[in-house]
Structure 1
Amino acid sequence: MAQPVFSPPLYVGAQRIGDLLFVSGQLPIGHGGLLHSGLVGEEVSVEQAREAARVAAGRCLDVIRNELGSLDAVKGVARIGGYVASGQGFVDAPVVIDAAPRTILDALGERGHHARLALGVASLPLGACVEVEMTVQC
């Protein structure tokens, strides 16, 4: 019988290129597991999705701390991308994703101002209602 072939992960939590750190998409996973799974506007309310966006943004900050040693190493935030698993006719992805930049601005102050993407999608990994990714200058 052939032995299974194990390979390294296909992606990393963050990739640094020059003075930019690209943080992989983060799901709203807390101590109790995935927060608020399902489609926003159907199984998940806007307020629940905003809470999930805050948690996902916090996970981005955790990745940055882990990679750079401290948030003090962040010179600025280039971009935040937010993805919202949207139910039929749901068009308020920007309202949901607004909670992520607030979390980033609270943590980084003026260095947290950024360009942003807020996009509604049909589904996200593990059934998450929100996913957030970031690019920071360090």
Structure 2
Amino acid sequence: MSGLRHRIPQALLDSLPPPPAPVAKFLPAREVNGLVYLSGLAPVENGEPLAGQIGAEIDEEEGRRRARLVGLALLSNLRAALGDLQRVREVIKLNGYVNAPSGFTDHPRIVDGCSEVFIEAFGEAGKHARTAVGVASLPGNISVEIEAIVAVT
């Protein structure tokens, strides 16, 4: 698989934000035995984390948009860690946490916003296993946090 060349859309690459700095004592990415573990990220816009509960203050479409912002930031951290996104063999798994009120049940649809970024970037190699769960709160009341595991050459 080392000869795999992804046709990552230039528009997607151009939309990547600068890699976000960690907000606590952890690494943004860690490569171990051909896997890159990407730390969970929040949606950020204009330098500010986006807060609020999805399904309460925030509608589902805005929640999906915020998950997409996280996907773009994860790709940015991945590119910074690898130097070249062509090293990606496949996306293994995403874990998504949605800040939502009790009774909200559409967590998978929200996290789809992030999944779509990886599929857009890597095609079939971007399809992944996934967890999408609702939580009562997230750090700083952020609306969504997503982490990823990616296999690399």
- Normalising by structure 1, report the TM-score: 0.89
What is the rounded CA distance, in whole Å, between the counterparts of 2:140 and 2:119 in structure 1?
Answer: 28
CA contact (8 A) 1:80 1:135 kept: yes
Specify the alignment match of 1:100 in structure 2. 114
What is the rounded CA distance, in whole Å, between the counterparts of 1:18 and 1:60 in structure 2?
Answer: 20
1:49 pairs, out of 51, 60, 63, with: 63
Q: How does 1:1-138 map to 2 (within 5 A)?
A: 10-35=25-50, 37-138=51-152
- RMSD, aligned CA: 1.1
Q: Write the letter of the residue equivalent to 1:88.
A: S
Runs of 4+ in 1 over 6 A off after TM superposition: none
Percent identity of equivalent pairs:
36
- Normalising by structure 2, report the TM-score: 0.81
Q: Write the letter of the residue equivalent to 1:13.
A: P
Q: CA deviation at 1:58?
A: 0.7
Q: CA deviation at 1:101?
A: 0.7
CA deviation map 1:26-54 (0-9, x unaligned): 1101224123x111111111111100000
SS in 1 for 2:27: coil
> What is the count of residue pairs matched by the alignment?
129
What is the rounded CA distance, in whole Å, between the counterparts of 1:32 and 1:79 in structure 2?
Answer: 27
Mark the structure with the bigger radius of gyration.
Answer: 1
CA deviation map 1:70-107 (0-9, x unaligned): 21110001101111001121111011111111111101
SS in 1 for 2:125: helix
